[in-house]
Amino acid sequence: MDAVTIKDLVKTYRDTEALKSVSLKIKEGEFFGLLGPNGAGKTTLIQILTGLCNKTSGNVELFDKDVVEDYQEARALIGLVPQEFNFDIFEKVYRILYFNAGYFCIPKKEREQRIKKVLTDLGLWEKRNSQARELSGGMKRKLMIARALMHQPKILILDEPTAGVDVETRKSMWKYLQKLNKEGTTILLTTHYLEEAEELCERIAIINRGKIIKLDSKQNLLKLQGKDARLEEVFIHLTTNDNK
C-alpha cells in the first residue's frame, strides 16, 4: 500500500501558484526525501498533508484516507516535526509529552510507558524533569521528534529536523531515524543538508517553483552527474537548469 498519494495538487495564494499540479506517491515503509530551494513549495506541501493548509485542488490521501474528507483519521496517521520549536519552553520535558499524548486519548499508564521508551531511545530520559528552555539545541530537536512519536504514527514528517545541530548529534539522530524506518515507520524528510538526504533517503523528489522537476531513486539521481557524484551536485544542476 502507498502511505502517501498526491495527485494533481494545486495551491494558489492570490496571484501566486505555490504548488503546480504536484503528483507523487510514497510507499509504505519508505524513507523519502523532498528537496528544494527556499520558496519551492516544500512547506506548503507538508501543511496540506497535515491539515494546516487547505488545498486549492487535487487529491491527497494517507493510507487511502482523504486528508479533507477523513481529516481525523488521516491526521492521526501523521507525526509532524516542524522547523520551528513550538512547545512551551517553561514546561518540563515529561509534561510536554504527557499533554501531547492526551490529545490522542492515550491512557495514563500507556502514556508513561511510551514517554519512558522514547526519551530513553533519544537519550533524553535524564532530562525528563528539566524545563525545555534548559535543553541544548540538539536536545530540543530530539524533544520535537519524541513529541511527534507519542501516538505512534505510521508516517513521520520531518521538516528540517537537524537544523542548527552539531555533527555528532546529527549522526545520532540519523541512526535513530533509520531504526524507526526499519521498524516500519514511513518517513518524509525535507532538509537543506543534502548529505543528510543522501545518507537516509531511498527515493528523492526535487521540487522547484511549485513543481516536481525530478523524482527518482537516490542511486539513479547520483548517476546523472557521473561517477563519484554527490547529491549536492545533482541538486544544483537540476535546479539551475530549471531556473533558466
Instruction: Check residue 220 and give its pLDDT.
Output: 93
**Which residue from 22, 27, 34 is spatially nearest to 189, judged by alpha carbons?**
34
Average pLDDT over residues 100-109: 92
CA atoms within 13 A on the CB side of 56: 16
In this prediction, residue 235 carries a pLDDT of 92
CA 202 and chain centroid, separation = 14
pLDDT at 115 over 80: yes
pLDDT at 207: 96
Residue range 103-132: mean pLDDT, rounded: 95
Spatial contact of 193 and 231, defined as CB atoms under 8 Å apart: no
Strand bridging mode 65-66 / 57-62: antiparallel
Taking the chain, what is the end-to-end CA distance rounded to the nearest angstrom? 38
What is the structure's pLDDT at 225? 82
pLDDT (0 to 100) of residue 227: 74
**Average pLDDT over all residues of the chain:** 94
pLDDT tens for 135-188 read 999 999 999 999 999 999 999 999 999 988 889 999 999 999 999 999 999 999
Phi/psi for 228 (5° steps) reads: 65, 20
- Work out the number of other CB atoms within 10 angstroms of the CB of residue 108: 10
> Which residues have a Cβ under 8 Å from the Cβ of 236 and sit 6 or more positions away?
none
CATH number of 2-77+154-243: 3.40.50.300
Q: Which of 15-29, 37-51, 170-184, 215-229 has the lowest mean pLDDT?
A: 215-229
Reading the block at residue 232, the C-alpha cell is 549536492
Instruction: Provide the H-helix boundaries in the chain.
Output: 42-49, 71-76, 93-103, 108-121, 137-148, 167-182, 194-200, 218-223, 231-243
Dihedral (C-alpha) 153, 119, 180, 62: value to the nearest 10 degrees?
10
Q: What does the pLDDT read at residue 15?
A: 84
β pairing state of 155-159 and 186-190: parallel
Task: Give the pLDDT of residue 198.
Answer: 93
User: Model confidence over 204-239: pLDDT tens digits?
Assistant: 999 999 999 999 999 999 988 877 789 999 999 999
Is the pLDDT at 61 greater than 90? The verdict is yes
Q: What percent of the chain has pLDDT over 70?
A: 100
The angle that helices 137-148 and 93-103 make with each other, rounded to 10 degrees, is 20
Given a cut of 80, whether residue 99 has pLDDT beyond it is yes
Question: What 8-state DSSP symbol labels residue 83?
Answer: S
List the domain boundaries for the chain: 2-77+154-243, 86-152
Pairing outcome for strands 186-190 and 31-35: parallel
Q: How confident is the model at residue 25 (pLDDT cuts 50, 70, 90)?
A: very high
Counting residues of the chain whose pLDDT is more than 90, the rounded percentage is 86
Average pLDDT over residues 4-15: 94
Whether residue 244 has pLDDT greater than 80: no
Q: What is the largest CA-CA distance in the chain?
A: 58
